[in-house]
């Protein structure tokens, strides 16, 4: 028989994502509705090691559903990768009377949660990262907002590129995952997208293919050439320099960067955050242990943490094909 849950902890960890505040709000409000106390842990796993806990009630999460960032703060905590610190974190949770922990973050944060289970801590993870790179879910909170931010920036770059008849290389985020680049590629009507899932590591070969396409497109009468580059594929500035030299066409590089991580979450991110936050609490009240929440085919799902970390999500090949056809 699972232990009844009286107090839960909640933390945000890893790269922040629009919608993190909406998840914390949903967790707190759902918990309060079920008579469960909530303690917020600040600065991700750092707060576990430094005992940085705050009580959270209904009013403490007022007026945040529409805000970016995370009011609990987030962090990358290298020390937490050491077993002795994971053990210490588990002890601190127990000392604070925490019966279960809700971890809001990306795959690294889920990995951290899995380590805690080895020290008897029950965790429920909520996928929240702009990268959308968690295998057990079709969707991670923050992705939609980030894509819309990048899309709006690329629309602007497109206008100036057309006016000057230039080529533009725009780098978007994604740390080893091409989802933001793929979505922008289609939504912005980019001529080319470069994503890690389809990159063979041959940078010179890639430059040659791009140069050939840019020249061919110019001959066909295209006035601009937009390349959306997922971070991690070569150096965007070097790429622009080499392309300009080889084509004779003015080429500019833009790295959109951290703009993509901030901003007011879209309706989709607020909705997903609210549903996943409430679902995490529902699972805990039903006695669930060590789950990662997800969305598959638009339905809420939950998988065992260890299983989730072994799941892999492929880029949708048809989407990739479409991006190629549309950019001709
Ligand atoms: P994200 O959750 O956005 O993927 P990171 O990969 O940076 O971000 O992970 C966030 C934090 O999760 C790390 O700084 C660390 O504290 C914790 N973490 C990541 N991997 C592990 C691991 N293998 N063991 C323990 N903790 C980990
Ligand atoms: O995890 C989200 C992400 O935005 C990645 O796309 C990016 O590589 C990384 O975080 C950069 O984050 P930071 O500079 O904060 O470590």
Ligand 1 center–CA 43 separation, angstroms: 12
**Active-site hit among 131, 133, 269, 303:** 131
302 given a catalytic annotation: no
Distance from the CA of 242 to the center of ligand 2, in angstroms?
Answer: 26
CA distances from 111 to 37, 123, 152, 277 (A): 25, 11, 33, 19
Please give the C-alpha separations between residue 53 and each of 7, 15, 38, 253, in angstroms, as whole numbers: 13, 20, 10, 43
Contacts of 87 (CB under 8 A, 6+ apart): 119
Q: How many CB atoms lie within 10 A of CB 232?
A: 16
Pocket of ligand 1 (CB under 6 A): 13-15, 45, 76-77, 80-81, 105-109, 111-112, 115, 129
pLDDT less than 50: residues of the chain? 1
Q: Are 80 and 48 in contact (CB under 8 A)?
A: yes
The rounded distance, in Å, linking the Cα atoms of 109 and 217 is: 44
pLDDT for residue 201: 93
Specify the pLDDT at position 1: 46
Q: Please, are residues 8 and 284 in contact by the beta-carbon 8 Å criterion?
A: yes
Specify the 3-state DSSP secondary structure of 57: coil
Ligand 2 in contact with 106 (CB < 6 A)? Answer: yes
Starting from the CA of residue 176, give the closest ligand. Answer: 2
- Distance from Cα 44 to the centre of ligand 1, integer Å: 9
> Would you say 20 and 69 are in contact if contact means Cβ atoms under 8 Å apart?
yes
HEC string of 258-278 equals HHHHCCCCCHHHHHHHHHHHH
> Which residue from 66, 60, 57, 77 is spatially nearest to 13, judged by alpha carbons?
77
Nearest CA to ligand 1 atom 27: 112
Of 103, 27, 37, 15, nearest to 65 by C-alpha is 27
Cβ–Cβ contacts within 10 Å for residue 107, how many? 21
pLDDT digits (tens, 9 = 90+) for 183-214: 999 999 999 999 999 999 999 999 999 999 99
Q: What is the pLDDT of residue 2?
A: 59
The residue whose C-alpha atom lies closest to atom 10 belonging to ligand 2 is: 15
Residue 129 Cβ contacting ligand 2 at under 6 Å: yes
User: How many angstroms separate the Cα of 29 from the Cα of each of 83, 114, 198, 245, 297?
Assistant: 33, 25, 42, 58, 26
Closest ligand, as measured to the CA of 171: 2
Cα–Cα dist 214/210, whole Å:
6
The whole model's pTM is what? 0.97
52-61: b (≥16 Cβ within 10 Å) or e: bbeebeeeeb
Q: Going from the N-terminus, what domains does the chain have, and what CATH number goes with each?
A: 7-142+265-309 (3.40.50.450), 146-261 (3.40.50.460)
Our answer on whether the CB atom of 130 is closer than 6 Å to any ligand 2 atom is yes
């Amino acid at each position: 028989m699972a232990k009844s849950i009286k107090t839960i902890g909640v933390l945000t960890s890893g790269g922040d994502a629009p919608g993190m505040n909406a998840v914390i709000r949903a967790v707190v409000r759902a918990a309060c509705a079920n008579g469960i106390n909530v303690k917020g842990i600040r600065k991700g796993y750092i707060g576990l090691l430094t005992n940085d806990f705050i009580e959270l009630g209904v009013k403490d999460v007022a007026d945040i559903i529409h805000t970016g960032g995370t009011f609990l703060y987030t962090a990358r905590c290298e020390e937490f990768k050491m077993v002795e610190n994971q053990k210490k974190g588990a002890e601190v949770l127990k000392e604070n009377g925490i019966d279960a922990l809700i971890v809001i973050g990306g795959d690294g944060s889920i990995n951290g949660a899995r380590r805690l289970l080895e020290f008897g801590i029950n965790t429920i993870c909520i996928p929240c990262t702009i990268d959308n790179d968690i295998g057990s879910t079709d969707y991670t909170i923050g992705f939609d907002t980030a894509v819309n931010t990048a899309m709006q920036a690329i629309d602007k770059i497109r206008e100036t590129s057309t006016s000057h008849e230039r080529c533009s290389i725009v780098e978007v985020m994604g740390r080893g995952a091409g989802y933001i680049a793929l979505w922008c590629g289609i939504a912005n009507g980019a001529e080319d997208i470069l994503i890690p899932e389809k990159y063979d590591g041959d940078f010179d070969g890639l430059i040659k293919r791009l140069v050939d396409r840019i020249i061919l497109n110019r001959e066909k009468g295209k006035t601009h050439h937009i390349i959306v580059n997922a971070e991690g594929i070569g150096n965007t500035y070097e790429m622009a320099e080499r392309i300009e030299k080889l084509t004779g066409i003015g080429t500019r590089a833009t790295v959109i960067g951290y703009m993509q991580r901030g901003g007011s979450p879209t309706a989709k991110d607020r909705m997903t955050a609210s549903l996943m936050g409430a679902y995490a609490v529902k699972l805990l009240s039903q006695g669930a242990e060590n789950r990662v929440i997800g969305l598959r085919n638009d339905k809420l799902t939950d998988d065992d943490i260890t299983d989730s970390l072994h799941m892999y999500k492929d880029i949708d090949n048809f989407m990739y094909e479409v991006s190629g056809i549309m950019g001709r």
